Structure 1
Amino acid sequence: MPNSFSQVASITRQARDAANAATENDISTAYEYIKSNYTDCFKDNATMEQMMYYGWLLEYKYVGNPEKEDYCNLGQDAEQLVKYVYRGTDTADSDHSKSNIEQIRKSIDAIEQAKAAAAEQAAAEQSETSNSSDTASSKENSRTVYVTKTGKKYHYANPCGKGTYYPCSLAEAQSRGLEPCGKCVLR
C-alpha cells in the first residue's frame, strides 16, 4: 500500500518548523545525506522520508536567499524526486525521476564549485593578510631609530633629549634590550 499524502504533509511540517533554527551543522548534514543517497534513495521508506525531510529543510531554510539558491534548488529537487514515488504516483525509473536526479547532480556540482571557489578565495585572502603583516612587520623592524651609547631607550626623534644620538634599526635596538622612549615613541 502506498504512503499517504498526510504522511508527506507531516514530514513537510517537521522540516519547515526546523528550518528557521537549522544550524550550519544541520545544513551540512542535510547536504551530505542528499549527496550520498540521491542515486539510491528509493530503497526503503526510511531513506525516502529522510530525503524529503532534508530536501524541505534546505528549501525552507534558503527560499528567497539568492546567495544560497543552489542549496534551495537542491532541496526542491530532492523532495520532488522522492515524494511522488513515496506516494506511489510515480516510479523510480520514470523520466520525471531521472530528470530530478540530473538536477540534483547539477546542484551538487554547483555547490561543490562554490565551496572550492570560497576556499580558494579564503586562502588567497589569508596569504595576502599574512604577506602584508609580514611586510609591515619587516618595515617596522627596519625602521631607523636613534640611540645613545649608554642609554636604555630608543627614540624616533633625533635629538629627543641631551646626548649624542646614533642611528640604528629598530630590530637592532630591540635586540640590545632597549625599550621605547616614553616621550617620542609612545605618544
Structure 2
Amino acid sequence: MTGITLSYNDLQLNELGIGAILHDIGKTRIDKSLLTKNENLTKEEFNEIKRHTYYGFEILRQYPDVSLMSAHVALQHHERWDGNGYPRRLAGDNIIEYARIVTVCDVYDALVSDRPYRAAYTVNQALNILKRMSGIYLDPNCVDALISNIAVFPVGSVVELSTGELGVVVDVNKATPSRPIVRLIFDRYGKL
C-alpha cells in the first residue's frame, strides 16, 4: 500500500515487494543462536549480525530475476535518514527509496509485535513513535505514506471519547487517522 500511495508503477511495486519480502534473507547466514540471544550482544556479535545486510545483497545478486534495486533493499534497510545506520552510513536520498520504505515498515512491524523484552505497542503508540522518528531515523515522506494507510481505529471499533462518551467508528479520517468519524452510542452517563 505504501508503494501505491507513492504512485509506484507495476514494475516498481514488484521490485519493492521482492525487496521487502527478502530484505532479511542474509540472516540465513548468521548463526541462529546469535539471532535469538536474549542477553546483550558483544561488539563482535553485533558486528556479525550487521553483516546480514551484505550477505542478503550477495545472495540476491546470484539470481538474475531479482533486480539490483530489490537487492539493494537487503543491503540498505538498516541505513538511517540521518546517516547513522549501517552498513555504509548512507543518509537521506542516498538511500534508495525502496529501502527507506522497507525500513519504515520494518520498524512499524517491530513496534506492533511482541518481543522477548517487551509487549507489543498499540497501533496508536507505534504511529506516535514513527512520527517521532520521522526526519531523524526515517524518511518523513515514507512515514507519512505508511501512516496514511493504517487505520488507528478500524471501522466497527468501539471507542471511548475524551468526554466519556462511547461511540463506534463508522469511517476513517484519512487527513487525521487518529480522529475517526464516530457515531455516538452512549453519552458519558451511559444513556443512549
TM-score range, shorter chain: under 0.3
Which of the two has greater helix per residue? 1
Give the TM-score of the pair, scaled to structure 2: 0.26
TM-score calculated relative to the size of structure 1: 0.26
Of the two, which has the highest radius of gyration?
A: 1
